[in-house]
């Protein structure tokens, strides 16, 4: 009994910060969703562009800019990262995974030159930040994040409902058909990568505030967290709705669940490094099971046909 009360009070106490971190990484996962689910590209730029977002945000802020301006600049920087990957892929014909890795590698250097290996906000600066983990401001932080999540989802809903947005969806779905219908699929892919990495860098700009500082390693494994949030979120929501907004909300939920699991791991004193393998395993299971089901299902169907004949 005592164990449970301790457990639940622990979870209750950390709920606002689980929500906050979940939403921050959930926004990043929405960026991953755009490339992975809409464009059908596994984009590894994100491990770098999330750090670039963080670096640009803190450097801009510490040079005296308003935090909103710093966040905006971070987002633009992320879009630029996406542009580089997009051009490496479409203009130079480099496979998208490799293009992402090349950009990610270069961003390591860029980030080091921008912000060194680590940077912290001072105690006084914290007052002007939007999202902070301090107990007395965590409620406010959650509200700000809910607002940002809503804006990101609303903008994407609008965009993918436009002619241009539809051309991106078609490109990811069937590039042959898209070209036959006059869609410049190279442009569509570049644009998708630009938008995706802009969102990823936005989440980096939020993360740097929440972590009270920047570290060159803060993006390591981001793609895995993003993909985990995407597949877990989809698994939850797909039973209820296939609409675009529910799917995006599912991705945010996926991010929150990820941090819930993370807190559990901490609570049970499990080696936190195990989490990386766990995330990878989750992705493998969630992507592999539907595939196997499909294959197994097909075989079964064939057998049935045979017995009928």
Interface with other proteins (CB under 8 A), residue from 2, 163, 269, 271:
163
Phi, psi of 159 (to 5 degrees): -60, -45
Give least dist CB 180 to other proteins, A.
Answer: 5
Which residue among 5, 63, 176, 273 contacts other proteins (CB under 8 A)? Answer: 176
CB nearer other proteins, residue 113 or residue 180: 180
Shortest gap between Cβ of 163 and other proteins (angstroms)? 4
Gap between the Cα atoms of 199 and 79, Å rounded: 8
Q: Which residue, 297, 34, 308, is CA-closest to 157? A: 34
Helix axes 96-115, 67-90, angle to 10 degrees: 140
Asked if 138 and 16 count as a contact pair (C-beta separation under 8 A), the reply is yes
Least Å distance between CB 93 and other proteins? 14
Ramachandran bin of 225, using left for φ above 0, alpha for ψ from -120 to 50, beta for the remaining angles: alpha
Judge residue 293's burial from the number of C-beta atoms within 10 Å of its C-beta, 0-12 exposed, 13-18 middle, 19 or more buried.
exposed
Closest CB to other proteins among 166 and 260? 166
CB nearer to other proteins: pick between 185 and 196: 185
Nearer to other proteins, 14 or 178 (CB): 178
Q: How far is the CB of 290 from other proteins (least distance, A)?
A: 14
Residues 237, 33: contact at Cβ < 8 Å?
no
Binding flag, residue 169, other proteins (CB under 8 A): yes
Q: Least distance to other proteins from the beta carbon of 294, Å?
A: 13
User: Judged by CB, which is closer to other proteins: 10, or 159?
Assistant: 159
DSSP codes of every residue in 201-259:
HHHHHHHHHHTTEEETTTTTTHHHHHHHHHHHHHHHHTTT---HHHHHHHHHHHHHHHH
| 93 belongs to the binding site for other proteins (CB under 8 A) | no
Instruction: Extract the tokens encoding 105.
Output: 């590698």
Asked if 209 touches other proteins (CB under 8 A), the answer is no
Task: Choose, by CB under 8 A, the member of 116, 147, 161, 297 that binds other proteins.
Answer: 161
Of the pair 113, 309, the CB lying nearest other proteins is at 309
Please report whether residue 90 would count as binding other proteins according to CB under 8 A.
no
Element holding 1 (H helix, E strand): none
Q: Does 117 bind other proteins (CB under 8 A)?
A: no
> Under rule CB under 8 A, how many of the chain's residues touch other proteins?
21
User: Judged by CB, which is closer to other proteins: 165, or 198?
Assistant: 165
Closest CA to 164 of 29, 38, 30, 31: 38
Q: Which of 17, 106, 126, 184 binds other proteins (CB under 8 A)?
A: 184
Q: Check binding of 167 to other proteins (CB under 8 A).
A: yes
Residue 141 in tokens: 């932080």
Closest to other proteins by CB, 21 vs 90, is 90
Residue 69: both structure tokens together: 């301006």
Residues that bind other proteins (CB under 8 A): 161-167, 169-170, 173-174, 176-185
């Amino acid at each position: 009994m005592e164990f449970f009360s301790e457990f639940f009070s622990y979870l209750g106490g950390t709920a606002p910060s689980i929500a906050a971190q979940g939403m921050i990484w959930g926004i990043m996962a929405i960026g991953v969703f755009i490339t992975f689910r809409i464009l059908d590209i596994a984009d590894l730029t994100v491990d770098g562009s999330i750090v670039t977002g963080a670096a640009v945000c803190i450097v801009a802020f510490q040079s005296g800019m308003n935090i909103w301006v710093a966040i905006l600049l971070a987002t633009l920087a992320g879009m630029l990262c996406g542009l580089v990957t997009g051009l490496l892929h479409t203009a130079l014909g480099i496979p998208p995974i490799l293009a992402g890795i090349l950009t990610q590698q270069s961003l390591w250097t860029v980030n080091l030159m921008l912000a060194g290996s680590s940077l912290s906000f001072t105690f006084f600066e914290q007052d002007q930040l939007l999202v902070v983990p301090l107990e007395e401001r965590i409620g406010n932080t959650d509200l700000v994040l809910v607002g940002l999540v809503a804006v990101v989802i609303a903008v994407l809903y609008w965009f993918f409902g436009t002619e241009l947005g539809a051309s991106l969806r078609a490109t990811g779905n069937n590039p042959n058909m898209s070209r036959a219908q006059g869609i410049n699929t190279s442009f569509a892919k570049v644009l998708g990568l630009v938008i995706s990495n802009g969102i990823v860098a936005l989440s980096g700009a939020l993360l740097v505030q929440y972590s009270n500082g920047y570290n060159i390693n803060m993006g390591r494994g981001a793609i895995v967290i993003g993909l985990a949030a995407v597949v877990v979120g989809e698994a939850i929501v797909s039973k209820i709705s296939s609409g675009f907004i529910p799917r995006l909300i599912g991705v945010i939920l996926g991010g929150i669940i990820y941090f819930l699991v993370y807190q559990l791991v901490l609570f049970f004193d499990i080696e936190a490094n195990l989490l990386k393998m766990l995330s990878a395993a989750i992705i493998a299971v969630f992507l592999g099971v539907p595939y196997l089901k499909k294959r197994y299902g097909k075989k079964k169907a064939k057998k049935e046909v045979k017995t009928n004949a």
